[in-house]
Amino acid sequence: MAEGMRVEPDLNFIKFLKNAGGDTLKKCYQCATCSVVCPLSSDDNPFPRKEMISAQWGLKDKLIGDVNVMLCHQCGDCTAYCPRGAKPGDVLGAIRAYAYTHFGFPQGLAKLCSSGKNLPMLIGMPILLIGILFFLANGGMHLPDAESFKEVGFGHFFGHWDLHFLTKNVVFIDAIFLPAVAFALFATFRGVSNMWKEMEKSVNADTTFRPSALQFAKDFLWPSLVEIIQHKRFNECGENKNRVNGHLPLVLAFIGLFIVTNYAFVVKDIIGYFVEGLHGPIALANPIKILANVSAIAMIIGIAILWANRSNQEEKTGASGTFYDWFLIGEIMAVGVTGLGAELLRLAGLVTPAYLLYFMHLVSVFMLFLYMPYTKFAHMAYRTFAMAFEKYRESGFVKQ
């Protein structure tokens, strides 16, 4: 008599899925309608039907290494056509939320970012850190007069000293944000590396032969980045095809702001160390400043569209909003509104409200960086490498 397969469901995993938006999981009765309408599905890969089975049984280890979970971009077609209201798209989103926490490093911070009840602490820690540094750097709550503010803008936000080649503001800004960025990159690298190992395990990949770093970037990673920027797969969506209207300007906005940030870092922090006079506000007519303002507006428009789409989807489907879904939307909106608002108040010469809004801008940007590896923003990195793995598993490195 053949020995039966032993199934050991992870009840905590099922509980997490229900709390993270997958509360309709048990309504699924395996009709396979979701697999019929999903563009990711094939005859030998009935996605997301097999993932729904695994989720119902609490097979966590089987799901966290499933590359298709990360390839899903939640177009909503499976949820729209499900005759039982099981909402597979929301279940898959909940699985991804669990994966970001599961792969997160360090685990304490990853778990802190997984629940809305910790929001006061998530906001309070950056406010306390930047507030204390502002108070210490300025010797109290010192604000510039209107004339000085017009000339230097926020260049003296953390005070001023007479070292013309390295301003006090640059020192404090770098001391706050460079470690946060370095930490976020390292934590993301650890998380993505752990995910990659799980995906290799799921397809029984032979790891004896691996591509070089250059070959991996050229053959697998770069094509995935191009596909993401072009938003090809979003155009395959039916129910939520208009999501590209929000995602595309948001992606382009982040690219633009990445260019602006690196320009400011090179010019103000490196070249400015040797050349005096490069630490003041960038002129409005400067192409970099124009790119910054256009990117900020694109960011606000893009996230507003996604905000509206998410609200309409919840109203239409009856889905309950989750902390996982809304935290990133709120963060990005805060970054865009406080940044653009602080600049407008600076141009109007309103010192106190401008300083307050700029302070909140620094807090929101710090939060975006520090918590990136554990929020929906992490999907940008995880999905990129999942798409690279999708190409990698079809290559000779896996298919010997």
> Which whole-number Å values give the CA distances from 194 to 160, 207, 214, 270, in the listed order?
44, 15, 21, 35
Half-sphere exposure at residue 250, Cβ-oriented, CA atoms within 13 angstroms: 22
Q: Report the Cα 240 to chain-centroid distance in Å.
A: 20
Are the C-beta atoms of 373 and 184 separated by less than 8 Å? yes
Question: Mean pLDDT of all residues in the chain?
Answer: 86
Q: CB 125: neighbour CB atoms within 10 A?
A: 15
Say if residues 207 and 196 touch (Cβ distance below 8 Å): no
In this model, does residue 179 exceed pLDDT 50? yes
Q: Which two tokens stand for residue 359?
A: 């302070």
Q: Which of 17, 39, 70, 99 is closest to 238 using CA atoms?
A: 39
Nearest to 74 by CA among 45, 55, 54, 97: 97
Helix (H, G, I), strand (E, B), or coil: what is residue 45?
strand
Q: What confidence category does residue 352 fall into, taking pLDDT thresholds of 50, 70 and 90?
A: very high
User: Could you tell me which of 50, 48, 47, 71 has the C-alpha nearest to residue 393?
Assistant: 71
pLDDT band at 2 (very low <50, low <70, confident <90, very high): very low
Q: How many Å apart are CA 357 and CA 337, to the nearest integer?
A: 9
> What's the token pair of residue 366?
């710090």
Q: What is the pTM of this model?
A: 0.84
The predicted-structure confidence for 194-228, as pLDDT tens digits, reads as follows 999 999 988 888 777 888 889 999 999 999 988 88
The predicted structure's pLDDT at residue 1: 40
- For the ranges 234-243, 275-284, 366-375, the lowest mean pLDDT is seen at 234-243
Sketch the domain layout of the chain as residue ranges. Answer: 11-103, 107-392
| Gyration radius of the chain over CA positions | 24
The DSSP line for 138-197 is HTSS----HHHHHHHGGGGTT---S-TTS-HHHHHHHHHHHHHHHHHHHHHHHHHHHHHH
pLDDT digits (tens, 9 = 90+) for 17-44: 888 777 888 888 889 898 988 877 877 7
Q: How far apart are CA 137 and CA 238, in angstroms?
A: 54
Tell whether the model's pLDDT for residue 180 goes beyond 90: yes
